[in-house]
Amino acid sequence: MQQPPDNSVARDERFLPEYHVRRGGDFRRAYERRCSASDDRLVVLAHENDRSYARLGLSVSRKVGKAAVRNRWKRLIREAFRLTRRRLPQGVDLIVIPRLGADPELAGLIESLPRLAGRAASKLDRAGR
């Protein structure tokens, strides 16, 4: 099992590369596992990883809007992940997909992300991690 990144105070608040899900295989495993939770803002898919911390993957389609809108969604979701990382389930990869028609606002994402991640992770536990 890999150790979490250095937990010094200055580094702890950053969204480090270790927290990114980037490989296609990691995304594919999360989609195939189908342990998800959603609300009117987000869909969160969960898949276990071999680490002791959560990682974030973003899937923001062109259907959501033009590049500026997609980039805003990604910035706000990353910030919500960074701010709520301690409340998220550990040892899971979270793939986050914004809902069509929802407005990107940080306060709503900070509320939704930990709740949905917890629900998706509990489905993952019931399915047998």
Domain ranges of the chain: 20-121
Backbone φ and ψ of 37, nearest 5°: -145, 150
Do 59 and 97 touch, CB atoms closer than 8 A? yes
pTM equals 0.85
Low-confidence ranges of the chain (pLDDT < 70): 1-12, 129
pLDDT for 59: 95
**CA–CA gap between residue 69 and residue 67 (Å, rounded):** 5
Protein fold of 20-121: Ribosomal Protein S5; domain 2 (3.30.230)
pLDDT for 106: 95
User: What six digits make up the tokens of 123?
Assistant: 């489905």
User: Could you count the other beta carbons within 10 Å of the beta carbon of residue 14?
Assistant: 10
pLDDT for 14: 81
**CA–CA gap between residue 112 and residue 23 (Å, rounded):** 25
